[in-house]
Amino acid sequence: MLGREVVAAAAERGLDCVGLAHGELDITDAAAVRRAIREHLPQAIVNCAGWTDVDSAEGREDEALVLNRDGPALLGGEAAAVGARLVHVSTDYVFDGSAKRPYVESDPTGPSTTYGRTKLAGERVALASSPRHAVVRTSWIFGIGRSNFVTFVLEQAAAGRPIRAFTDQFGCPTYSVHVAEKLVDLAVVERGGIFHEAGSGHCSRMEFARAILAQAGVEGEIVPALRASLPAPRPAWSVLASERDPQPLPSWREGLAAFLALRGAAP
């Protein structure tokens, strides 16, 4: 979902971009990573790969670490060896969710899930490889090409099934096209460190579900739910803001409208 938008955003700018899917490059295979980087000699690498299933990561931390920590370590080290920059995608789940205001880049982390811990480990090894590398934390991504919360809501509504949505989880829904453009920005501009890039504004999952149905013009039954019903805990508050980027992403409502328009036009 995100990788295809990065390739598209790079192409729109006339950049020479090679997109390698999982079947073409396993980022946990040291020999394959070294071979791919030596073959293409990139100026920048954008890593959109990762273990993103929050629930399945619980109880499988060693496995999740291989993809979320060891993969970025390999990419970061090999990128630095050829003078390339790594732009690594991370998550709002590196925070514990106890804040009362949006999290900025300098706020202390404290993940409460296996997924969050392994993603934080990936951030650290990526940044340790070179001061030129960048980490982009984003939140609640939706877009074309993969199931996500927006498609879940619309599919449930179309099937006449109730839509469970949390009233006690708040974040920043982010359109994949918008964050992909920021990833390409960081790939071509010399700025290292951590960046928060998420849809402007915030909402609960319940509010998000209501907005999806309203903007799509469809009827659906939304059933209030609580985070405690999930196998893995989610941070109650993972709203992101940036103290480093003076140009935030468009609002999540604008991103939702753009996605629904594109989804409606897609074959």
Structure tokens at 217: 């013009």
CA 37/CA 190 separation, integer angstroms:
20
| Cα pseudo-dihedral 157, 162, 168, 171, rounded to 10 | -20
**What pLDDT was estimated at residue 229?**
85
**What pLDDT was estimated at residue 34?**
97
Give the list of residues 6+ apart from residue 214 with CB closer than 8 angstroms, or none.
none
DSSP letter for 174, please.
E
**What pLDDT was estimated at residue 265?**
65
**What pLDDT was estimated at residue 228?**
87
Contact 57, 113 (CB under 8 A): yes
Active-site residue 93, yes or no?
no
Going from N- to C-terminal start, the domains of the chain cover 2-147+172-201+237-250
Q: How many CA atoms lie within 13 A of 31 on its CB side?
A: 0
**What pLDDT was estimated at residue 9?**
98
The residue annotated as part of the active site, out of 93, 103, 115, 175, is: 115
CA 261 to each of CA 156, 190, 198, 201: distance values in angstroms, whole numbers, following the listed order: 19, 34, 20, 20
Per-residue pLDDT tens digits of the chain, which is 267 residues long: 999 999 999 999 999 999 999 999 999 999 999 999 999 999 999 999 999 999 999 989 999 999 999 999 999 999 999 999 999 999 999 999 999 999 999 999 999 999 999 999 999 999 999 999 999 999 999 999 889 999 999 999 999 999 999 999 999 999 999 999 999 999 999 899 999 999 999 999 999 999 999 999 999 999 999 998 888 889 999 999 999 999 999 999 999 999 999 988 654
**What pLDDT was estimated at residue 104?**
98
CATH class belonging to 2-147+172-201+237-250:
alpha beta
**pTM (predicted TM-score):** 0.96
**What pLDDT was estimated at residue 215?**
96
Structure tokens at 212: 């999806």
Neighbours of 32 (CB within 10 A): 15
What single string gives the DSSP state of each residue in 74-128?
A: HHHHHHHHTT-EEEEEEEGGGS-S--SS-B-TTSPP---SHHHHHHHHHHHHHHH
